Structure 1
Amino acid sequence: MSLAELGRFARNEAHIVIGLLESAGIPAFALDGNACIADGSQFFIPVRVMVDADDIEAARQIIAALPDS
């Protein structure tokens, strides 16, 4: 399994994206989600959403289909 970065998101947004991907059958997880939690700067550090490289195109299509907020 080779990982690919789907994107960098705000902390809560990243977990919403992961849930959306997993509901579509694409395993995903967050990196850097707990970085610098001791000094309170975790909300300023983007969270990387990672998927299997074989799933990256399908994951990009799911994200691209989301409405802009």
Structure 2
Amino acid sequence: MALVELGRFNRNEAHILIGRLDSDGIAALAFDGESSIGDGSYLFIPVRVMVDENDLAEAQAIIGTAA
């Protein structure tokens, strides 16, 4: 399993998207979600949503970013 980046989203959107993908059977992870939480700038740092490379096309279709 190799993880690839689906996209970068604000903190709330990323977690909503992960829930949406999970409901369709696609495992997804949030990277960088806790970055700079100590200094209060964590809302400004995009969260990377990662999926398995085999699920990328389906995940892109779900969020409407398929190339």
TM range (shorter): over 0.9
1:7-36 CA-to-partner distances (Å, cap 9, x unmatched) read 000000000000000000000010000000
Runs (5+) with no aligned partner, structure 1: none
TM-score (norm 2): 0.95
CA RMSD of superposed structures (Å): 1.0
Pairs aligned (count): 65
Q: How does 1:20-59 map to 2 (within 5 A)?
A: 20-59=20-59
**Separation in 2, partners of 1:52, 1:17:** 15
TM-score (norm 1): 0.92
Identity value in percent:
62
Runs (5+) with no aligned partner, structure 2: none
**Structure 1 segments of 4+ aligned residues over 2 angstroms from their partners:** none
**SS of equivalent residue, structure 2 residue 35:** coil
